[in-house]
Amino acid sequence: MSMKNDATMNHDACMKHDPAMCEKCMNGGMQEMNKMNKMMTDRLGQADAEYDHRFIDMMIPHHEAALIMAKDAQQKAQHPEMKKLADDIIAAQQREIDLMKKWRDEWYKH
């Protein structure tokens, strides 16, 4: 038996088409997303000589997470448009990951 947190329970209610719970889930998810965005921009810090390096080091795993989600969507999505979007996300995000890794190697050899 697994323990579920409030967000998971809210999402489960959304999946059962409970409009009231779905609204709470969406609002809670947006609040969490806003907190995470603020935390990430705070971690990026001020414009300085290392800003680009910090940006690359944070953006690569962010894009890698998008790849994981898009690959999941390729397998589970019901609409062909969503599967196509997942394909496009994978191609674009992988190109950007490769480019950022190239720049990091060229600019920040330590």
Please tell me the total count of domains within the chain.
2
Assess whether 69 and 39 both reside in one domain. no
What predicted TM-score, i.e. pTM, was given to this entire model? 0.68
Assess whether 36 and 71 both reside in one domain. no
Assess whether 63 and 108 both reside in one domain. yes
Assess whether 102 and 63 both reside in one domain. yes
Per-residue pLDDT at 38: 83
CATH number at residue 100: 1.20.1260.10
Residues 3-15 have pLDDT tens digits of 444 444 445 556 5
More confident residue, 109 or 88: 88
Q: Which range marks the domain in which residue 26 is found? A: 1-44
Which residues does 43 contact at the CB level (< 8 Å), separation at least 6?
54, 58
Assess whether 16 and 35 both reside in one domain. yes
Per-residue pLDDT at 2: 44
The answer to whether residue 1 scores a pLDDT higher than 50 is no
CA distance 71 to 65: 10
Assess whether 32 and 56 both reside in one domain. no
Residues 48-100 have pLDDT tens digits of 999 999 999 999 999 999 999 999 999 999 999 999 999 999 999 999 999 99
Per-residue pLDDT at 35: 81
Assess whether 50 and 83 both reside in one domain. yes
CA distance 35 to 17: 27
Assess whether 91 and 71 both reside in one domain. yes
Q: What is the DSSP string of 45-68?
A: -SSSTTHHHHHHHHHHHHHHHHHH
**79 touches 28 (CB < 8 A):** no
Assess whether 32 and 81 both reside in one domain. no
Assess whether 37 and 25 both reside in one domain. yes
